[in-house]
Structure 1
Amino acid sequence: MRVPRYDYRCRACGSTFELSRPMTEASAPATCPDGHDDTVKLLSTVAVTGGASAPPKAGGCCGGACGCG
């Protein structure tokens, strides 16, 4: 079973870091590696694509809304 990774940024020192944790803990507070508690979870985007042999879907990545297809 894969555990999702979440990206965070520390407001105190500005560093970014990631944590692997169960989805049930996605909203739990995170402490940066330097020990600061003032962190914020970053919005991550995930690209999901088919295998190399899968034909491209009509409309490209977003159904054609961005002009990709």
Structure 2
Amino acid sequence: MPSYEFRCRECGDTFEVKRPMAESSDPAACPGGHDDTVKLLTTFATGGRAAAPMAPAPTTGGGGCCGGGCCG
């Protein structure tokens, strides 16, 4: 279940709430009992690396338009 981060405007505390995505926009009460909270924008980044470039296809010198000399 995803978690959403909220901040209380009264006390300044930041807290997380786990709830279904369908309820992501619902208001959340501060653990300190305050009702004036705002949902924070959370950024999500994935780490990884780009795939290595593919090597050119080997030429065999025969067959096909570009390998057999049929292009004019």
Question: TM-score, with normalisation over the residues of structure 2?
Answer: 0.65
Partner residue in 1 for 2:23: 25
Could you tell me the percent identity over the aligned residues? Answer: 63
Counterpart CA distance in 1 for 2:47 and 2:19 is: 24
Query: What 5-or-longer segments of structure 1 have no aligned partner?
Result: 51-55, 59-69
Structure with a larger share of its residues in helix: 1
TM-score normalised to structure 1 length = 0.68
CA RMSD of aligned residues (A): 1.3
Higher CA-based Rg: 2
Which runs of structure 1 show a deviation greater than 4 angstroms over 4 or more consecutive aligned residues? none
Q: Is 1:57–2:55 an aligned residue pair?
A: no
Aligned to 1:61: none
The code of the aligned residue for 1:32 comes to: C
